[in-house]
Amino acid sequence: MFLERFRAGIRQFSAVMRRSSPVSTNLLREFSIPLITGVVVALVWANIEPISYRAIVHTPLLGRVTLDFLVNEVFMAFFFGIAVVEITDSLLPGGSLNPPRKAVTPLLATAGGVVGPVGVYFLLNAVFGSPALVRGWGIPTATDIALAWLVARVAFGRTHPAVSFLLLLAIADDAIGLAIIAVFYPDPDHPVSLPPLLLVAAGMLVVFGLRRFGVRNYWFYLLLGGTAAWVGLYRAHLHPALALVLIVPFMPHQRRPPEQPAFDVREEEHSTLSTFEHEWKVVVDFGLLFFGLVNAGVQFAAVGPATWLVFLSLLVGKTTGIFCFAKAAKYARFPLPAGMTNCDLLLVSMTAGIGLTVALFVAGAAFTDPNTQGAAKMGALGSALIVPLVLLLARFRRSRSKAILGNGALTTDPGRG
């Protein structure tokens, strides 16, 4: 009974947001207004009234459950779940990452997105840093998938293959980042425990069985497989927000002819996968307001060497590492997705340098000295400056492409002199 009411509420919210004012709603989602609003409010609030901000975010609401926990550990599981829908759809026939061999390039680029910033961090630290800052090398390794994905959708458009490329790269990147945190920045009070991961494996077996038996209601996949995976990751002291990454690909989806692009049929599909996306997409897009509110509340601190180490490692290291590794993959006969150019790859590489919230989290684990930690967090916060840079370059690229096409039309038209 409760489940049906809850699902009815989700459907009603999605329907109201879609029908009330479709144009304004789509604009709000397309330009990430909820997320940006949350980030701005958090920054202003944390710097004007830091005590009340921390009280709202970290004070238990029910037992030991805080707003921070609800957003980062529960809500974000649905965000990652929706992101994986995009990747799963791209891997289907007609998708930009099909056949799966095309997924090799973004996965290799992920390695560059880790090696590049780490190399730049150590190099710059040798030039103007100090031994005390060496421990911060893990800060620029992960990508803020929430903001990077939304920026990519604005820069390229929702159906551009670069978006799926970035999504797969960012999720793999975050998985590596979480592994780095677990191994190199462990919590002495909560070390990683491997036995609970058996519960994760059990959840995956359950949803595999559900699919084999033709179960189409996505709630069975979420409640049985998703809950088991979430609890397993949580008890293993790993990030439980990644639980649905392991579950969503098992949801039944509609097969399509290889020559039919995925986005041509998304709206008409009634598969389990598409129903889950349809009912939760709006909820997740507007829920990102709370993600920004909870994670972006950083007090402005004095800029120091750690600031530039983190910022330049994200901007230069990520861009160089991803671009070079992806190009190397291309020479190894693992091409970029069809329709994705070198210019697109460069923009994707820069977009992946948006560390922001993930980098803020690692900075808190890497340094205990408040001044050093604050300076490092300023570098992570500064990676948000990559956003307008990417959007500006994307606009310039589109304008230049139109100009080239226009000139081509003039020179090839026999009716023109």
Write down all domains in the chain, each with its CATH number in brackets.
1-28 (no CATH), 31-192+237-412 (1.20.1530.10)
| Dihedral angle, C-alpha 271, 274, 279, 283, nearest 10 ° | 160
Predicted confidence at residue 212, as pLDDT, reads: 94
- The CA–CA distances, whole Å, from 258 to 3, 120, 411 equal 37, 42, 36
Q: Please tell me whether the peptide bond between 99 and the residue prior to it is cis, using omega within 30 degrees of 0.
A: yes
Predicted confidence at residue 213, as pLDDT, reads: 93
Predicted confidence at residue 184, as pLDDT, reads: 84
- State the amino acid at position 269 in one-letter form: E
Predicted confidence at residue 175, as pLDDT, reads: 78
Chain position carrying tokens 């190894």: 332
Average pLDDT for runs of 10 along the chain of length 417: 60 55 48 80 92 92 89 90 84 75 88 96 96 94 85 87 90 80 76 91 97 93 96 91 91 62 48 90 88 85 90 96 94 87 94 85 83 90 92 87 61 40
Predicted confidence at residue 18, as pLDDT, reads: 52
φ/ψ of 378, rounded to 5, equals -65, -35
CA angle 66, 68, 73 (to 5 degrees): 100
Predicted confidence at residue 172, as pLDDT, reads: 86
